Amino acid sequence: MRLLEDNVLDGNAIGGMLIEVFGAEMTTAVGTCGVCGTRGQVAEMAVYQPRLGTVVRCRVCDNVLMVFVAMHGVTCVDLRGLDSLV
């Protein structure tokens, strides 16, 4: 598995935002990648924060799992890259 680049974070970094969006602690939630089937905790997912939004990717195949965009005071969430999140 390729190593993450220096500027990349992990799901720990968005713990507060996840509680705001989901109403619960989510860093230990397990997500299944919809492309490669890898299962892993949110805390260990690759998090990119280009300021346009937060992009969470699969460590193994780089598939986009979750995208959060804050617009006009609301955080929009897209989870289509995940098969499941429990």
Q: Tell me the CA distances in angstroms from 74 to 17, 25, 68, 71, one per residue in order.
A: 12, 19, 10, 5
Comparing CB distances to another protein, the nearer of 48 and 83 is 48
In terms of Cα–Cα distance, which of 35, 33, 63, 36 is closest to 48?
A: 63
Is there binding between residue 12 and another protein (CB under 8 A)? Answer: yes
Structure tokens at 32: 């299944």
Residues 17-56: x where in contact with another protein by CB under 8 A, - otherwise, as a string: --xx--xxx-xx------------xxxx---x-xxxx-x-
Is there binding between residue 64 and another protein (CB under 8 A)? Answer: yes
Cα 32 to the center of its chain, rounded Å:
11
Report the interface residues with another protein, using CB under 8 A: 1-13, 15-16, 19-20, 23-25, 27-28, 41-44, 48, 50-53, 55, 57, 62, 64, 67, 69, 71-72, 76, 78
